[in-house]
Amino acid sequence: MAGVTAADYLVRHVDSEQIGHISAHNFPAITPFQNGEPRHPTRLYNLEGTDLSVLLGELFVPVWAAHSFTNALMEWVSSADVTELAVLHGVPFPHGPEEHTVFHVATPQYRERRLAETDIQPLEGGFLDGVVGEILAQALDRDTPSVGVYITPTHPPGPDIDASLLLLDTIQEIYEFTVDEEELRARSEELKQYYQELTQRMESLGGGEQSLASRDYPEDRMFM
């Protein structure tokens, strides 16, 4: 959700124009809508005043469909003469306070062009699957486009807006444009306050005469 939140914020707060959408055969589909108007779940936008296009996907792509989806994406990339791809990716992996930052996994061409003079550190080790892994794998076998994946650790449950802000800050630094983050920062503070109050209510219930264990509550503790 961190990458989706950042991409969605970009297309809503930078002048943008929808230029198309991505679809793949035999791929499970949803049709999101807002104010009664349906839209494709995976859409392409141009950001005015920049050389950037944004792919915004509201549909989770399962691992088994990643190859088909990535092929559809790369077909458009080739037709549009795109030279590089930057992927915003939030991953809930263990990390310390000093590691709540943005790391990179990038092909050599992307790293030399965009990252050589930055402080963005490479992610030490592991693997990437799904669409992100497929994009990198295909980039290894192609002359273009080069690919840089920006990865930040996220804190479940719910959307980690602080992680989205880190990704937004990074992409603005790399591609030298600006977007007003005030609305997203306000939303982050609202979510923090919500979860803080929820935790306090649960602690209050647990300290009462009747313990939580004896109450008729579901076992799901995803909000903690």
Same domain membership, residue 133 and residue 28: yes
CATH number at residue 117: 3.40.50.10900
Same domain membership, residue 208 and residue 110: no
- The span from the CA of 208 to the CA of 54, in Å, is 51
The C-alpha angle 126, 131, 134, rounded to 5 degrees, equals 70
pLDDT band at 206, cuts 50/70/90? Answer: low
Q: Which residues contact 212 (CB under 8 A, 6 or more apart)?
A: 202, 205, 206
| Domain annotation covers residue 221 | no
Segment 149-167, tens digit of pLDDT: 999 998 877 678 899 999 9
Same domain membership, residue 203 and residue 136: no
Segment 52-70, tens digit of pLDDT: 999 999 888 888 889 988 9
Segment 174-196, tens digit of pLDDT: 999 999 999 988 987 887 777 77
Is the Cβ–Cβ distance between 48 and 54 less than 8 Å? no
| DSSP state letter for 25 | T
Is the Cβ–Cβ distance between 83 and 45 less than 8 Å? no
Q: What pLDDT is attached to residue 204?
A: 76
Q: pTM of the prediction?
A: 0.83
- The span from the CA of 79 to the CA of 51, in Å, is 16
More confident residue, 192 or 148: 148
Same domain membership, residue 190 and residue 83: no
Q: What pLDDT is attached to residue 218?
A: 47
| Domain annotation covers residue 223 | no
Q: What pLDDT is attached to residue 95?
A: 75
Instruction: Using the predicted structure, report yes or no on whether residue 217 has a pLDDT greater than 60.
Output: no
- Please name the residue that has the structure tokens 């994406």: 73
Segment 30-59, tens digit of pLDDT: 888 989 999 999 999 999 989 999 999 988
Structural domain containing residue 192: 185-214
Is the Cβ–Cβ distance between 128 and 105 less than 8 Å? yes
Segment 73-124, tens digit of pLDDT: 998 898 888 999 999 999 888 777 777 899 999 999 999 999 999 999 999 8
Same domain membership, residue 103 and residue 153: yes
Q: At what angle do helices 2-13 and 161-175 cross, to 10 degrees?
A: 60
Q: Structural domain tally of the chain?
A: 2
Same domain membership, residue 148 and residue 172: yes
Instruction: Using the predicted structure, report yes or no on whether residue 134 has a pLDDT greater than 70.
Output: yes
Q: What pLDDT is attached to residue 222?
A: 43
> What is residue 34's three-state secondary structure?
strand
